[in-house]
Structure 1
Amino acid sequence: RMPDAPVLRSVDFGSSVGDLQPFPSLIQTRHYRAPEVIVGIGWSFPADMWSIGCILVELLTGEALFQTHDSHEHLCMMAKVFEHFPKWLGLEADKKCKKWF
């Protein structure tokens, strides 16, 4: 159900970093976490776009797209939605995640 006057506010910047600050290896709330963050290959602005996409789906459907607390299950859910991952994702994944590709 759409509200009569929809308003969108972004209020949680708790994990944000500036351009000159060191980037942590793990970012984003689990449900909105990009695949490259899960497999530990680093991240950049596209990870933010991924999160925005997940949030938009949740706003439209009322349900989080990926409801999980396990990284492997999270990637499996993504694979069901998107059918496959780009080859570079598996090639660059850190050692603990390579077994998933």
Structure 2
Amino acid sequence: EKHFLHDGAYNWMHIISAGASYSTKKTKVPFNIYGSLGFLYSYYTMIDDEDYEMTILGNHKADGNTKYHFVDNDEYPVQCGIVMTFGIKLWNF
């Protein structure tokens, strides 16, 4: 029996982004310029060690009611970052 989110460490990533594009058909070679910029926040949750007891058949102590908590250490760090995309598309009709 498996209990999603209650049987180990889980990585959560939250990303919010905005983008725009510009295209034209007035030139001999139509083109499209596009880009986006976003912010990433990544963290881990896990259950306490005393609730995490693995056997050959799986974890028999943790179940769907086992509480998990936020983790920020060397093994499971909180990370923030910027996500950016940029491109140009060229095509012929």
TM-score bucket (shorter structure) = under 0.3
Using structure 1 for the length normalisation, give the TM-score: 0.20
Larger-Rg structure: 2
Compare the two structures and name the one with the higher helix fraction. Answer: 1
Higher strand share: 2
TM norm structure 2: 0.21
Structure with the bigger RCO (C-alpha within 8 Å, sep 6+) is 2
